[in-house]
Amino acid sequence: MTDNSEILPELPDTPQGADYTGDDIKTLVWYEHIRLRPGMYIGKLGDGSQSDDGIYVLAKEVIDNAIDEYMMGFGKQIAVDVDERSVSVRDYGRGIPLDKVADVSSKMNTGAKYDSKAFKKSVGLNGVGIKAVNALSTDFYIKSVRDGMQHAIEFKEGKMVKDFGIEPTDEPNGTLVRFTPDSTLFREYRYREEYLIQLVKNYTFLNTGLSIYLNGKKYYSRYGLLDLLKENLTTEPLYPIIHLKGDDIEAVITHTRQFGEEYYSFVNGQHTSQGGTHLTAFREAVSRTIKEFSGKNFEYSDIRSGMVAAISIKVEEPMFESQTKTKLGSRDMGPEGPTVAKFIGDFIKKELDNYLHINRDTADILIKKVQENERERKAMAGVTKIVREKAKKAAINNKKLLDCRVHLSDTRGNEDRKNASSIFITEGDSAAGSITKIRDVETQAVFSLRGKPLNTYGMPLVDVYKNDEFALLRAALNIEDSIDDLRYNKVIIATDADVDGMHIRLLLLTYFLQFFPELIKKGHVYVLQTPLFRVRNKATTRRTGTKNAKKSSSKPTDDTHYCYNDEERAAAIAKFGANAEITRFKGLGEISPEEFRGFIGPDIRLDRVTLRKEDAVDELLEFYMGKNTSERQNFIIDNLVVEDDSEIS
């Protein structure tokens, strides 16, 4: 036997953690675990500024239960009342069995949806959702009404504080849930109406005949996904929207002049924003069916370029990849059903093929669009590799991108940190320098533009693709092949608050609107708001000295105010009176790094770029970014504002 004593490391007399005992083993109460690990149940926390922030997930969990009642044939209306801090949801379904109100609210893995007879194709399956809402709320109230009797219970942070017992009532059947998210978890949160409206609209699109009253306003859909696509289209379709319906499946398809693909997918009424097995099967089936119908050897990418479509299916016992249910993982339609791929493939093959044979005018326009895509791709083939290699080398040599450590595309890690990842697109090195010196290197990247970008409106794709600046930007964002690979959650346009800065902003937005509209539609594009003015108290400045004044915090103080508009400036001037010293910031490079720290830190002001149906993108771009016309010149003259700098030092 070999003696290894001479080569073994010397061990410490008392190994670290030697006092590990049974006292170190903890069993958490159900609500304690949810509050300790909320991300497991609702994804990221957030403050309500993003549509997928936790406060909206809480609202969805409650509304989902009301929707499930409607899907089972009970209750044709739901009342949702929301202010900035609290939510109330009242459905008119069957109501929770009165003796189980406490259990479904506060016992994990408790619910009726394990029994597919009661809820055959519902969204909530794990008996967790409403318990998470309860645990993450400072106040949670639930009441069930059944056949003239009601049972109400009140909770705080998951702990029951009052059981009102079972008592008679004149109210109609159904369930009422009221809750206020815990502000110690969702810091400085507030509900935004625009996200709630979209949430409610999606519910009505997927449940034709259901009326949802959001703060008293009625939302209703007659034509389902057809209404949804019309609502979300921001450019005219090339042909009438194809609408296909069957048992447990509905689909709508069209093409537009936009680039890329755009899909909306749903399972049992749940918006699967990250797609899943059903969306993969749908894209494959549509491509294969159109290719076979045409009799030509089209590539699938040519068939799908410019496609805007939506797919909704109903699945028994669906499996999602997380509790937030944004991506379907199910392979089968149910325990005894076909695979998801076969179910969707068979439906699309039959219904879409029939539609194209019957509606020849639509089919001809569709095939013509695919042929245009094919010609464009072939024209691009010779330059794609060259442009990508050139952009890659230029990015390395010129150091256009100062990257951060955390990216949206990271497969593992903290969801809040990944969603905090951002990239500032700046004009020139001076602005980039100020941001670079004080940015958070973990989550904030910087990309510096060289001069004004190209006006891409109306230009052929191949000419736009060759442009060096946009090639570098695409490489930085990692969107060459698909925006699914986007590296940063927020793409922030950070330009000067002057005419040139505004022009650069418009040129960038024109590029995104034409070639990557999904970046905007999915809420990734923002504009950085920086102060136009700094108003200081001259008396204080003289006492403390200029040097100390320059080191002051970027947050408003008793002696310094940073103003983002004329109203804020007027208020600051009124406060300091004759001692007001006003500085106009016309360029980001004029703002010192120390001052800039607050403008891109926790108090950052961002305006999200949004797209609505009424924006009419084609007409908008033609008017503002097309060739000069007398109409646009007259618009500029009529809306010209002359700034008075007389009081600015």
Q: Is residue 125 very low, low, confident or very high in pLDDT (cuts 50, 70, 90)?
A: very low
DSSP H helix total and E strand total for the chain: 23, 22
* Between 331 and 140, residue with greater pLDDT: 140
Can you tell me the distance from the alpha carbon of 260 to that of 305, in angstroms, rounded to the nearest whole number? 5
Average pLDDT, the chain: 84
Q: What is the pLDDT of residues 138-161, one digit of tens each?
A: 999 999 999 999 999 999 999 999
160 membership: H or E segment, kind and range: strand 159-168
What number of CA atoms fall less than 13 Å from residue 203's CA on the CB side? 32
Residue 118: the pLDDT is 43
Average pLDDT over residues 1-5: 47
pLDDT at 632 over 70: yes
Q: What is the pLDDT of residues 585-603, one digit of tens each?
A: 877 777 777 777 778 887 7
For residue 603, which phi and psi values (nearest 5 degrees)? -95, 20
Residue 573: the pLDDT is 92
Alpha helix positions (H), 157-266: 193-206, 225-232
Please check whether residue 313 is in contact with residue 340, taking contact to mean a CB–CB distance below 8 angstroms: yes
pLDDT at 4 over 50: no
Average pLDDT over residues 509-532: 89
Residue 599: the pLDDT is 82
Q: What is the pLDDT of residues 372-390, one digit of tens each?
A: 999 988 888 777 777 777 7
pLDDT at 364 over 90: yes
Structure tokens at 462: 């191949």
Quickly tell me which residue has 């010192």 as its tokens: 592
Residue 122: the pLDDT is 54
Can you tell me the distance from the alpha carbon of 470 to that of 394, in angstroms, rounded to the nearest whole number? 12
Residue 18: the pLDDT is 62
- Single-letter amino acid code for the residue at 364: D
The whole model's pTM is what? 0.77
Domains of the chain: 33-218 (3.30.565.10), 225-375 (3.30.230.10), 399-530+607-638 (3.40.50.670)
Give the Å distances, CA to CA, from 330 to 132, 562, 641: 24, 52, 58
- Sequence-separated contacts (24+) of 194-203 with Cβ below 8 Å: 194/610, 195/48, 195/51, 195/56, 196/56, 196/59, 196/80, 196/82, 198/51, 199/51, 199/56, 199/59, 199/60, 199/63, 200/80, 201/228, 201/231, 202/228, 202/266, 202/271, 203/63, 203/67, 203/269
